[in-house]
Homo-oligomer: A and B are copies of this chain.
Amino acid sequence: MEPGRAEGVTVSQSSGVDRLRAASMADVALLAGVSSQTVSRVSNGGIVAEKTRERVLAAMAELGYRPNSAARALKSGRFQSVGVLMFTLHNTGSIRILDTIAVEAAAGGYSIDLISLGDPTTGHITEALSRLEQEAVDGIILILEAHELLEHSIAFPARVPSVLVDSQSYDDRISVNADQKQGARLAVEHLLDLGHPTVWHVSGPTETSNAAAEREQSWRDTLRSRGLVAPPVLGGNWGAESGYKAGVELAANDEVSAVFCANDQIALGVLRAMHEHGRRVPDDVSVVGFDDTAESSQYWPPLTTVRQNFKVVGETAFALLREAMLGEAVEAGLRLVDNELVVRSSTAAYPGARAR
């Protein structure tokens, strides 16, 4: 090992063996002929004479100096890092929110500490939060999307601000989400406006998901506001297969002319069931989804769906967290982001008695 090479500093140890160590401020200071504090000033944009700065920068470059973030964090008490706690990464929406947060965080000089829980029990969440607190984060975003179960039983870290992305409003917590009810209303009203006598619903996992529960509730409310009684609900989880199963039942029922699905995957399954049973979409049956995944425009037929604005949700969540991390008082409560209806080819006017 050659001494003085570009990428490090050779250190003599008691064993007599030389070891490669990352260059520290002291090393840079020595090479540049200044004090380590001056190196620190250069590193942090303090007041330094131009000539000195150049000399220090040259020394940094030569040694491949990188500030030690652990030391910096220890000294300053800030980690420039945001913890993101998610359930699985199987959920389209969660991932798109994560993506946005990752971009925002990078732009703001924060890194992302990601934790995904396979099994979202309350205990695991609390454990993960405690892990995050112990790990080096200045703030936490919990993407609870679709998991109730916990409510006020989570032990939130006391010293680290956190923001929830969830449809439920914990009145003492800062949270953000897409407005599930508004989105569902958009879908149901679209179908009713097309003349359909009623709208059937294939739900998500309403037991464990606030989003699923709210979409169902809003479907019910919207029907009622038009003087209609909601037909029986079908469904179970977010998967396309559960949509297919529900779709088989719906396809067998001649009365069904309009279906609102809790998400696009479910809609995909419903579409398949309709095709299998020879019911034409949208001629015989109209189908609406929720999410606007990347693929739904290429379903057969292209799916009318409710586009969630995940970008805005993610940006809002990060912006709120940043404020809180900077010590500003952020008001608790749920911020709702509006959705948009995207009309494609899976919906059409009610065919009336003609079709039967």
Question: B residues within 8 A CB of A240?
Answer: 294-295, 297-298
Question: CB within 8 A of A159: which of B22, B135, B241?
Answer: B22
Docked Cα-Cα span, A107 to B243, in Å, equals: 34
The answer to the question of A89 belonging to the interface, with a C-beta cut-off of 8 Å to chain B, is: yes
Question: B residues within 8 A CB of A136?
Answer: 69-70, 73, 136
Question: CB within 8 A of A88: which of B66, B67, B99, B301?
Answer: B99
A134 touches B66 (CB 8 A): yes
Which single residue of chain B is at the shortest CB-CB distance from A130? B66
Docked Cα-Cα span, A302 to B268, in Å, equals: 11
B-contacting residues, A76-115, CB 8 Å: 79, 81, 84, 88-90, 95-96, 98-99, 102-103, 106, 111-115
A99 touches B90 (CB 8 A): yes
A5 to chain B, nearest CB (A): 10
B134 touches A69 (CB 8 A): yes
B272 touches A302 (CB 8 A): yes
Question: B residues within 8 A CB of A90?
Answer: 99, 294
A89 touches B95 (CB 8 A): yes
Number of copies: 2
The answer to the question of A300 belonging to the interface, with a C-beta cut-off of 8 Å to chain B, is: yes
Docked Cα-Cα span, A88 to B99, in Å, equals: 8
Known A-B contacts A95-B95, A300-B272; the reply to A265 vs B113 at CB < 8 A is: no
A61 to chain B, nearest CB (A): 12
A164 to chain B, nearest CB (A): 19
Which single residue of chain B is at the shortest CB-CB distance from A131? B111
Docked Cα-Cα span, A239 to B79, in Å, equals: 38
A270 to chain B, nearest CB (A): 9
Interface membership of chain A positions 134-146, coded 1 if the CB is closer than 8 angstroms to chain B and 0 otherwise: 1110000000000
The answer to the question of A20 belonging to the interface, with a C-beta cut-off of 8 Å to chain B, is: yes
B294 touches A239 (CB 8 A): yes
The answer to the question of A269 belonging to the interface, with a C-beta cut-off of 8 Å to chain B, is: yes
A295 touches B159 (CB 8 A): no
A112 touches B111 (CB 8 A): no
The answer to the question of A74 belonging to the interface, with a C-beta cut-off of 8 Å to chain B, is: yes
Question: B residues within 8 A CB of A99?
Answer: 88-90, 116
B-contacting residues, A115-143, CB 8 Å: 115-116, 118, 130-131, 133-136
Interface membership of chain A positions 297-336, coded 1 if the CB is closer than 8 angstroms to chain B and 0 otherwise: 1111110000000000000000000000000000000000
The answer to the question of A279 belonging to the interface, with a C-beta cut-off of 8 Å to chain B, is: no
Docked Cα-Cα span, A97 to B187, in Å, equals: 34
B133 touches A66 (CB 8 A): yes
Jot down 10 A-B pairs with beta carbons below 8 A, ordered by A: A68-B74, A69-B136, A70-B73, A111-B115, A111-B135, A240-B297, A241-B298, A265-B295, A275-B300, A276-B300
Q: Which A positions have Cβ atoms within 8 angstroms of B?
A: 7-8, 20, 22, 64, 66-71, 73-74, 79, 81, 84, 88-90, 95-96, 98-99, 102-103, 106, 111-116, 118, 130-131, 133-136, 158-159, 239-241, 243-244, 265, 268-269, 271-272, 275-276, 294-295, 297-302
Sample of 10 further A-B pairs with CB below 8 A, known A68-B74, A272-B301, A272-B302: A22-B159, A64-B158, A66-B130, A89-B96, A89-B98, A95-B95, A111-B113, A241-B297, A241-B298, A269-B298
